[in-house]
A and B are shown apart, each in its own frame.
Chain A
Amino acid sequence: MRRMTGLQVIALAVALLLVPAWAVAFQNEGTLRIGGMWALSGGAAFFGKAALGLGTLAVDEINEAGGVTVGGKKVKLTMHPQDDACNAEQGLAAVRRLATVDKVLFSLGPTCSSVAEPVFGTLQKKLGDAGDTGLQLLFFTDTATKFGLAKLSPWVFRNTPDEPAMYDFIVKYLKENRPELKTVMVSYESDFAHSAATWKGALEPALKKHGYHQVVEVVDWKWLDTEMGAQVTKLRRANADVYFALAHTTSMCPSLKEMKSQRVKPKLIFGITSLAGTEVLLNCPDLAEGVVSPTNFAPINARAKQIADKSWEKYKADSNIHSVPAYENVHLIKGLIEKAGLTNTEDTLLQDRRKVRDLLAKVGTFQGVIGKITLNPEDHPVKPRDVDKDMLLVQVKSAKWTVFWAPPHLKQN
């Protein structure tokens, strides 16, 4: 047999590189592509990497159990992550790639609401409308939390926290259980959509609705700020009973350091949902001692503990309020794929996406890691295609998150 020349070897290598990625995917090759876009670099990468890790863990579990049955044949799931770096422009490029180059069945993510908003804006607004040239790509979001994002397109479903309900519960809880705490001060990140929306769209309406607490000071800073001396001086002067720090770890830790420095000691501190993870424990465990945060995940049962251990061991991925939904979403979609009657070919990709989307819209209640989750129907008046799920309050004690409050049915687990 004639040996290849160097030039031929290079030509072959180039040809292999130029083969489109999708040419080795789909049913004939025994694979089914799923995607995800997260902040895998930049300031929010801790969350993005965690969600990727938990999503990949679910894919591993499904593949180790034989894969997913499509057309009577077992195929393996392959994960195709894209990095949006919590940057809208990169997000817009990533969604196009997922939809048209990677040709994934559905996508997890994004991490940041500021990316999700423009990305979801590129999706089709009206199902089946030939005149609507928006992307027909199914999103089952795990992280981007800003209220109302799923309303932007019928292709968007979210398994994310319901923050208005969470902060409404906290305000009510305080009113009923700690009536002596009457004054409130608040900080939020003015340049972070999630933080600002939690104040304007969740906490402020809850405080007004219950009408019990007096807001004596509201300060803001930027999420990557490192110095909050002036704002904390205002909080010190306000000297309120309860402090709502609606800040992510990046600004939470330096602000808590400044508070300790200025001897600001509110009786109770509540954080933002995103705080309830390992990041804050790595950054400032001692400063965060006593901080309470609402969440939808804590390792309170054997399954949750096992997932948290496994994801950390295998991918150094933190199991938290935002990442565990990626795991839940992949497992849920796996079941839908098997029911949907997909053909899993390049030519039928849009029909396959639509079939899974339509099944997801009707899924109703499904089992999450710590409890039941209800995916609201499309005609839900307030939050269509968003979920309702159990919430807990967790508190930092001795550099660990512990359960501060949990609903009775979860406590029994």
Chain B
Amino acid sequence: MFFDAAEQFINGVMYGSLYALIGGGFTILFGVMRRFNMAYGATIMAAAYVSLVPLYLFRAPFWLMVLTGLAAAILIGLLVEFCCFRFIKKGHELAPLVATIGMLIAITEAIVHATDAAGLKYPSPFGDESLELGRFLVRPDYLAVLVAGVLCFTLIFLLLYKTRLGRAMRAVAERPEAAQILGVSVQRVNVLTFVLTSALAGVIGFFAAVSVGSARPDIAAFVTGKGLVVMVLGGLGSLPGAIVGGLVLGVLEFQATWFLGASYRDILAFLILFVILVFRPRGLLGARTT
């Protein structure tokens, strides 16, 4: 019993790192712009598909696949920013929400039509067989997600708290008008925020596809659902909250599936989310700013 719970806890933490990365992407954008980007999941899914192009064309190595995915994600992210955010005036908060839902559907269906709705095999550079750590079996791709999560969040925190861009992003997140008066270009910060979160989408797309074993159109819906839950659970706009929220969701899902079965997994996870939000409406680590 204890061993089972411990094994599922470890798996939950590792897989929760993927949720944390997804939630982190949603959160950074919301934290800076105070707007939801519902097309983020589609960006992740499309990046996973595009990253396969060099592999299928000329058997490119993995690093080139990852770079292609990153480049594709950044381009798609900039397209989303241009189409759904740039020209919408402040005060019309619902407009980008609806516009990005439209973009989510458009990107997903474009991939569905381009691939005839087929998932495509996505090879793993980490090997297929689990590592044996004592009595525990640990999936190497999940371990890689955990390591990638630690690296990505370290880099993001360094960027936010040790660079001029990070300071500008925090200023725009806190008081956009005041930041503008002080000479910060809000539009430039918004674009760079999109570049940052889109690059993260490229990384997430790679790991999401590796963990599933294929790039599939429904990855968009999956990451959108998880990302929103993590963001709300952790606290809107709180990056540490997204990390904690992702890990908590991962652990909850694994424990619920093990002890109660998959049918009860979502019931339990969302019941706990509900309880948390009743007692802490701002989420676990809810804060106004990033």
A interface residues, Cβ below 8 angstroms from B: 41-43, 45-46, 48-49, 190, 219-222, 224-227, 229-231, 233-234, 249-250, 253-254, 256-258, 260-263, 278-279, 282-287, 316
Contact = CB atoms under 8 A, between A and B. Distances in A.
Nearest to A227: B15
Given A227-B253, A261-B137, 4 more contacts: A41-B109, A226-B219, A229-B254, A231-B257
A233 B139 CA distance: 12
A282 B219 CA distance: 16
Given A220-B262, A225-B262, A283 B119 contact: yes
A43 B217 contact: yes
A229 B109 CA distance: 30
Contact of B212 (A221, A254, A260): A254
A41 B15 contact: no
A46 B118 contact: yes
5 contacts: A190-B262, A220-B262, A221-B262, A250-B119, A262-B130
A261 B7 contact: no
B121 A230 contact: no
A219 B262 contact: yes
Contacts of A229: 8, 11, 15, 139, 254
A230 B250 CA distance: 12
A260 B117 CA distance: 26
A261 B139 contact: yes
A284 B214 CA distance: 7
Interface in B101-122: 109, 112, 116-121
B118 A230 contact: no
B212 A226 contact: yes
B125 interface: no
Interface string B69-85: 00000000000000000
A49 B216 CA distance: 16
A133 to B, nearest CB: 34
A282 B11 contact: no
B190 interface: no
B119 A279 contact: yes
Contact of A261 (B129, B217, B221): B129
A162 B220 CA distance: 34
Interface size on B, as a range, is 35 or more
Contacts of A46: 116-118
A224 B137 contact: no
List 8 tightest A-B contacts by C-beta distance, closest first.
Answer: A45-B117, A230-B257, A230-B258, A257-B213, A283-B214, A46-B117, A283-B119, A221-B262
B257 A282 contact: no
Nearest to A281: B121
Contact of A224 (B15, B129, B214, B218): B218
A106 to B, nearest CB: 25
Given A226-B222, A253-B214, A282-B120, A231 B137 contact: no
Interface of B: 4, 7-8, 11, 15, 109, 112, 116-121, 128-130, 137, 139, 208, 211-214, 216-219, 221-222, 253-254, 257-258, 261-263
Contacts of A286: 121
A46 B120 CA distance: 12
Contacts of A261: 128-130, 137, 139
A48 B112 CA distance: 12
A220 B263 CA distance: 7
Contacts of B221: 224
Contact of A233 (B7, B116, B263): B7
A276 to B, nearest CB: 15
Nearest to B210: A257
Given A220-B263, A230-B11, A230-B258, A41 B112 contact: yes
| Centre residue among B211, B214, B219, B263 by max chain A CB count within 10 A | B214
Contact of B262 (A231, A260, A284, A285): A231
Contacts of A220: 261-263
Contacts of A249: 119
A261 B214 CA distance: 15
B153 to A, nearest CB: 21
A125 to B, nearest CB: 32
A250 B128 CA distance: 18
A110 B73 CA distance: 35
A283 B121 contact: yes
A53 to B, nearest CB: 9
A262 B137 contact: yes
Contacts of A285: 121
Contacts of A279: 118-119
B7 to A, nearest CB: 7
A224 B119 contact: no
Contact of A253 (B8, B212, B257): B212
Contacts of A263: 129-130, 137
Contacts of B119: 249-250, 253, 279, 282-283
A260 B128 contact: yes
A257 B128 contact: yes
A250 B213 CA distance: 10
Contacts of B218: 42-43, 224, 250
A81 to B, nearest CB: 14
Nearest to A260: B128
